Structure 1
């Protein structure tokens, strides 16, 4: 996925997404034996938009600080903590 594609997902508005149409990530567990790339692919397949998801009955929008870290690196770091 390109940086532009990630940016389009990040720019999705909260009000444009219905909570019942979002996958529930409350029970999602990453396989720590997988590579970062494989975890990233599985996460994207599960959630669709890595910046907006549902955890139980709550919508969650993920964003990152403008601190010089690339979107890809920030996403990898997020996957390490999931």
Structure 2
């Protein structure tokens, strides 16, 4: 979902219905090389969300995460005008 904001800029949200991300992991999920949980036989290097954060902040925006009740997460990106 996306929308233009009256004050300028935009808001984009991506939601999923996976199990969600625990509160303690949310503090590190945007750090390089961090992953929420290891999946056997799957290569995970933990750069996806770190790259997203770097790209968003390079354009003076912010990215956040919150619960998507009853399951999942909502990632929200705000951009400036």
Choose between structure 1 and 2: higher strand proportion: 2
Choose between structure 1 and 2: higher helix proportion: 1
Specify which structure has the bigger relative contact order, considering alpha-carbon pairs within 8 angstroms and separated by 6 or more residues. Answer: 2
Larger radius of gyration: 2
